Structure 1
């Protein structure tokens, strides 16, 4: 696996871990609110995150000369 992908995964894990570590009560409220959303909304939100991730990855790869 490409080391860039592993570094990106490590960064995602760090950022995802900061929420419950620093703001546990707010994080719990957000998760409960997300759990109550309809499936269609969650799918659109997830799809938007995937597209945004690919766009950011593509932009970084082209601008950094990767």
Structure 2
């Protein structure tokens, strides 16, 4: 369970750093995402989730 909290903390740290370092770029990225069809976002999210699970599987064995 502690690994889950560490992972969530890392996600928050990375997201926070992106918004702190480049708020304009993040706003532009959000604008562009709003224009994408839901299917494209869903596919991208699914691919990201699969890559993430694969990375954890590689590291944790």
Give the TM interval when normalised to the shorter protein.
over 0.9
Q: Which residue of 1 aligns with 2:55?
A: 56
Per residue, is there more helix in 1 or in 2?
Answer: 2
> TM-score, normalization: structure 1?
0.87
Offset, 1:5: 1.3
Gaps of 5+ in 1: none
> TM-score, normalization: structure 2?
0.94
Runs of 4+ in 1 over 3 A off after TM superposition: none
Q: Which residues of 2 match residues 23-34 of structure 1 at below 5 A?
A: 23-34=22-33
- Kindly provide the CA deviation profile for residues 8-35 of structure 1, in whole angstroms up to 9, marking residues without a partner as x: 1100110011111110111100110011
Secondary structure of the residue that 2:36 maps to in structure 1? coil
Which is greater in Rg?
1
Gaps of 5+ in 2: none
